[in-house]
């Protein structure tokens, strides 16, 4: 009930009025039955704008901490995330990935739409990164079709590291459903999982127009951080070298003047 209140009364109308998001290919999303909406991930605002363009509810999984924090703040946080269409990762599994899979299977088993970001984390530079194979495993185990999706412009509205950005009109594009039933029973074949995931990422790239990088986003962030740190250290080294050279030149210049006097 809270989900629909936020979508149609409290939050949704404000987002529609202010940002006027555009949507294309909405008819590719099944009107009934389970489906996996696999999207790119540019901003924390993605999970607000993509569901806003659909009549059906879209559910994502989120960290369990969002639902278990103590106190009044924790209570409001739990209510908001639940109402916004997110459910906690099932922690009964051996790890978070297994827990997310269990939660997703439950959602799809109930005939609902499940939203997933195959990259696993937000893109730090606007590029599209290699997808993790969990989306492929989920498609094979559930039998649900995968609808590729691209959200464009949310990194302008809500850039990484900032609460607010600049105004733009977000665009959401849905592609035709992808059916992987031909691979039924092969969910433990890592080559099949990689092939399916790459096909999904290709469709997302086609819809989003992003540059694709065959590297996991988390690794790319790590390399970028190391590069920035190395550049900072090199700049500091060059600055120190320049200062030392300048000091040496001054001293060398003083000698002849002193001797001449």
**Rounded-to-integer distance, Cα 137 and Cα 77, Å:** 30
CA 194, 198, 199, 200 torsion-angle sign: positive
* Residue 43 CB burial class (10 angstroms; 0-12, 13-18, ≥19): buried
Confidence of residue 165 (pLDDT cuts 50, 70, 90): confident
The model's pLDDT over 139-152, given as tens digits with 9 standing for 90+, comes to 999 999 999 999 99
**Size of the chain, expressed as the number of residues it contains:** 261
How many Cβ atoms from other residues are within 10 Å of residue 179's Cβ?
12
Q: Is the pLDDT of residue 123 over 60?
A: yes
Residue 113 · residue 35 · CB < 8 Å: yes
Structure tokens given for 34:
């389970």
* Cα dihedral: 234, 238, 240, 245 (round 10): 160
Domain boundary assignment for the chain: 1-213
Most confident of the ranges 61-70, 85-94, 216-225: 216-225
User: What pLDDT score was predicted for residue 246?
Assistant: 84
Provide the 8-state DSSP code for 122: -
User: Degrees (nearest 5) of the Cα angle 127, 131, 132?
Assistant: 145
Confidence of residue 54 (pLDDT cuts 50, 70, 90): very high
pLDDT at residue number 1: 72
- In the structure, what pLDDT confidence band is assigned to residue 93 with cuts at 50, 70 and 90? low
CB 81 within 8 A of CB 25: no
| 133 neighbors 193 (Cβ within 8 angstroms) | yes
Q: What is the 3-state secondary structure (H, E, C) of 24-92?
A: ECHHHCCCCCCEEEEECCCCCCHHHHHHHCCCCCEEEEECCHHHHCCHHHHHHHHHHHHHCCEEECCCC
Q: What letters, b where the CB count within 10 A reaches 16 and e where it falls short, cover 231-258?
A: eeeeeeeeeeeeeeeeeeeeeeeeeeee
Question: Do β-strands 146-152 and 171-174 pair in parallel, antiparallel, or remain unpaired?
Answer: antiparallel
CA distance 212 to 209: 9
Identify the CATH number of the domain defined by range 1-213.
3.40.1130.10
Tokens coding 65: 């901490």
């Amino acid at each position: 009930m809270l989900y629909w209140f936020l979508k149609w009364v409290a939050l949704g109308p404000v987002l529609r009025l202010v940002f006027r998001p555009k949507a294309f290919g909405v008819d590719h999303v099944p009107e009934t039955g389970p489906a996996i909406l696999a999207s790119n991930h540019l901003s924390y605002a993605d999970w607000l704008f993509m569901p806003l363009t659909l009549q059906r509810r879209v559910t994502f999984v989120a960290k369990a901490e969002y639902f278990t924090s103590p106190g009044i703040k924790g209570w409001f946080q739990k209510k908001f995330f639940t109402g916004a269409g997110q459910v906690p990762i099932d922690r009964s599994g051996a790890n978070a990935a297994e827990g997310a899979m269990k939660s997703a299977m439950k959602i799809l088993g109930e005939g609902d739409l499940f939203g997933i970001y195959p990259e696993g984390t937000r893109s730090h530079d606007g590029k599209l990164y290699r997808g993790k194979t969990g989306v492929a495993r989920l498609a094979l185990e559930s039998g649900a079709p995968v609808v590729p999706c691209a959200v464009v412009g949310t990194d302008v509205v809500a850039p990484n590291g900032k609460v607010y950005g600049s105004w733009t009109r977000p665009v959401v594009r849905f592609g035709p459903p992808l059916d992987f039933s031909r691979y039924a029973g092969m969910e433990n074949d890592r080559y099949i999982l990689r092939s399916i995931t790459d096909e999904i990422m290709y469709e997302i790239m086609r819809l989003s127009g992003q540059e694709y990088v065959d590297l996991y986003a988390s690794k790319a962030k790590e390399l970028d951080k190391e590069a920035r740190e190395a550049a900072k250290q090199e700049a500091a080294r060059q600055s120190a070298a320049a200062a030392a050279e300048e000091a040496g030149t001054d001293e060398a210049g003083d000698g002849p003047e002193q001797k001449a006097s």
